[in-house]
Amino acid sequence: MSDWIYAVILGVVEGLTEFIPVSSTGMLLLTKQALGLTDVNWDTFIVLIQLGAILAVVVLYFSRLWKVVLRLPSDPRARRFALSVIVAFLPAAVLGVLLHDLIKQVLFESPRVICISLILGGVVLLLIDRYAPHPTRDDAMALPLPTSLVIGFFQCLAMIPGVSRSGATIVGSMLMGVEKRAAAEFSFFLAIPTMAGAFTVDAWKNRHELAHGHMGLVAIGFVVSFIVALGVIRAMLAIVTRRGYAPFGWLRIAIGGVGLALLMRG
């Protein structure tokens, strides 16, 4: 199978899974293994194409985000929102830089860890969907800074492949009294600096390899993940509004269970 077909497949998986709480990184790594892609450059490809999905958030929320940018000099609420995203971003930024090599070289090579994390995360989603504290915050752009910081620490759990970044931040948000839809939206906003940072670090560390022909494949995966994510974000918000996070919890458990069964057979 041609490399560009692999790039399209991985781009579709990224776009489908970046924002729903099933772990895009875990699903991409399992897909990579299923396709037999052993070249380490595919690990870098997986990180880089995530920026395509993040661009979908910028496009869909451009009007609201642009208003924040314009009002930063004069509106305290705009400054508070920007600061809340920065505060939530900082824990993962610091740990991501410090643990980058460990994450790429050790955790990225453990499909069993991914499957177990998918199952455990699914159970957590089912529990939090049913027993979360009564929400007291329903605006993703007006969260208190202490709440944002706690959400930021929850995001750090996503450094373990299989622990969904969106799932971890949504769980943290709901435990802090954030309403379900607002929790999803704040997770989207937080993804922008988080994945842009991961893209920058990986692109710099692998700049020599990328300069020798890999950027074409990255471009394909980037565009595909962007297009798919545009539809997925709208669909996820509709599902969360009507049915909560239980469907995603069961999906995680099913995927993790099938993965473990295949690993044991192998």
Average pLDDT over residues 28-38: 84
Residue 211 has pLDDT above 60, yes or no: no
Residue 266 has pLDDT above 70, yes or no: no
> Residue 159's closest CA among 198, 204, 201, 206?
198
C-alpha to C-alpha distance for 203 and 85, rounded to whole angstroms:
23
Name the pTM for this structure. 0.86
pLDDT recorded at residue 175: 95
pLDDT recorded at residue 107: 55
Range with the lowest mean pLDDT among 101-105, 131-135, 248-252, 259-263? 101-105
Q: Are 140 and 186 in contact (CB under 8 A)?
A: yes
Mean pLDDT of the chain: 87
